[in-house]
Amino acid sequence: MNKKADKINHNPEIVKEMEIFNEFLKKKDLKITSQRMLVAETIFSIHQHFTADSLLELLKDHRDEISKATIYRILSIMVEAKLLAEHDFGKDFKYYEHIIGHEHHDHIICTDCGRIVEFVVPEIEEMQQRVAQEKGFSIQGHRLNIYGSCQKKPGCEFWTKKS
């Protein structure tokens, strides 16, 4: 592990999330590397949806410490560890968000500016059960995306790629 990595984060929430990640790595006989720590810390400090590319951008000062391939590899580990959820919002790249400490929610997406807003509708869980039962499925989960326009709220710009 190189020296940059000991810039450890003292935010208690992030510390806790890092511990969970480390547990997972150990359990799976995966190694605790400086890249994994750096990416995980960065991700845990983001409180919005992000993409592989926007993560890369956040890490641009560490360009010499981590490659794009490694970022993709770490993202897939974190999804497997259920620390991250992967989303498709109708673009041709994936969005991620970290899960821990976030109540289950769905998303409403502005097709003008790409803004993503979370919402919680408790009755969806019950509806999901009902549909699954009726169709004879066991349930893993659901994704509900509502598409619309946020109507030029401040910050609403044309939806650029990989934002």
Partner DNA sequence: GTTTATGCAAACAATTTGCAGAAGA
Partner DNA sequence: TCTTCTGCAAATTGTTTGCATAAAC
Q: By CB under 8 A, tell whether 145 contacts a second copy.
A: yes
What are the residues whose beta carbons fall under 8 Å from the beta carbon of 92, sequence distance 6 or more? none
33 binds, among a second copy, DNA, none (CB under 5 to 8 A by kind): DNA
Residues in 79-108 at the binding interface with a second copy, rule: CB under 8 A: 88, 90, 108
127 binds, among a second copy, DNA, none (CB under 5 to 8 A by kind): a second copy
Name all contacts of 18-21 with Cβ < 8 Å and 24+ positions apart.
18/44, 20/81, 20/83, 20/100, 21/78, 21/81, 21/83
Handedness of CA 150, 156, 160, 161 (dihedral sign): negative
Which chain residues interact with a second copy by CB under 8 A? 88, 90, 108, 110-111, 117, 119, 121, 123-124, 127-128, 131-132, 134-151, 153
Which chain residues interact with DNA by CB under 7 A? 1-2, 29-36, 51-53, 65-70, 72-76, 92-94, 161-162
